[in-house]
Amino acid sequence: MIDLEVPKKFVPLVRQAAGLADQVFRPISRKYDLAEHEYPHELDLMSAVIDGLSDSGASQGAGARTTSGGSGEPAGVGAGSRAKRRKSGNVNGSNLSSVLSIMQTCRGDVGLTLSLPRQGLGNAAIAAVATDEQKARYGSKWAAMAITEPDTGSDSGAIRTTAVKDGDHYVLNGEKIFVTSGERAELVVVWATLDRSLGKRAIKSFVVRRDNPGLRLERLEHKLGIRASDTAAFTVVDCRVPAEDLLGDPEIRIEGGFGGAMQTFDNTRPLVAAMAVGLARASLDLTTELLGRAGVTADPGAPTTTQSYAAARLLQMEADYEAAYLLTLRAAWMADNGRPNSMQASMAKAKAGRTCVDIALTCVQLCGATGYAETELLEKWARDAKILDIFEGTQQIQLLVVARRLLELSSRDLK
């Protein structure tokens, strides 16, 4: 059964992540918000530290080096082994350690967290569907993920980028937008269809080297928030990719063919939820401190009707925060224990994304001019918050996934 306390083996990791947020990210947060698209060189040292922890076994990330199929177990662990471990006890693995550490680093800065080398969302995609050989080959690389297209925003099943087999290569053609870390990453996981007429069943993901001449960077987006993180747009023109770089099963399966690619979201949505939880925590902590200086203190033991509006709102936001936090832990824990978590991952992402936006904007309002000014990070966090309700599937898509699972309906039955 899930334990709501931070596992003892993860306590050092959480402390280190908290120190990273407070001592490294916060001091440079405003700098790289203003210097959009400038690479934060301070992160190179942090990346080396993370690599050292991973190599020593003191830390586990969500990347391709440590996980298999979203189970949070070493590559090669099969369903039978997972079943035995579930019977024998609780497993706290890389999914839980990742969300706990991300919650901390995002107290410092979401954009800088997304900019950490070799910690990209594409790495989680590789972990979800790659073979053991592919995990070993891509393990030390930084991977971005390219799903969204101009005409297929939240409908991943309607992807138009094509992949045509040509000997021992695939030739990719299409257009991708909103690729997080697309300029800086060494690899880009590109989603494409083997046959448009077959819909989502023919969609596969391909690992494309960033220096592939067929992967053309068109522009970097200027954004409302997370400006420290680069967001790229690509055109994919006659991009030749070795067949061995197709992730997972190359065959088109009539039943469940899209499931392998969609496992990516079961891995990444709890991570995005964790980002939202971390930003919400930062906003609540700073607002509580600022209101405390003004003589406003919330009393959780007293009725909210007897307290000021600001105090009552703080208590309400704390309750919403706790719900988002617990849903995120559950989704990650289920992945570590080999349990299907698609619905829970969407629940966590939906709740955390919406809660994060509400908390960040309300904190700006409660702090008045101080919240709106650049003298504090509240206004920046309010700008950063919105993307966490959008990427990796919008709020509406998450609710649709949850509804399908609860009602036991297919995507064809409930659109």
Query: What amino acid positions are annotated as catalytic residues?
Result: 392
The residue with tokens 């919008």 is: 394
The β-bridge partners of 220 are: 232
Is 112:36 a contact under the CB 8 Å cutoff? Answer: no
Widest CA span in the chain? 74
| Cα–Cα distance, 142 to 242 (Å, whole number) | 19
| Cα–Cα distance, 139 to 112 (Å, whole number) | 21
The CA-based angle 36-39-43, given to 5 degrees, is: 125
Helix (H, G, I), strand (E, B) or coil at 292: helix
Distance from first CA to last CA of the chain, Å, rounded?
34
Structural element, H or E, at residue 190: strand 187-193
| Cα–Cα distance, 30 to 227 (Å, whole number) | 10
Task: State how far Cα 56 lies from the chain centre.
Answer: 24
* Distant-in-sequence, close-in-space partners of 269: CB < 8 Å, separation ≥ 6: 331, 345, 346, 348, 349, 392, 393, 398
Q: Which of 384, 342, 375, 348 is nearest to 115 (CA)?
A: 384
Conformational region of residue 63, where left means phi above 0, alpha means psi within -120 to 50, and beta covers everything else: beta
Q: Dihedral through CA 231, CA 125, CA 147, CA 159, nearest 10?
A: 170
Is 126:144 a contact under the CB 8 Å cutoff? Answer: no
The residue with tokens 């350690």 is: 97
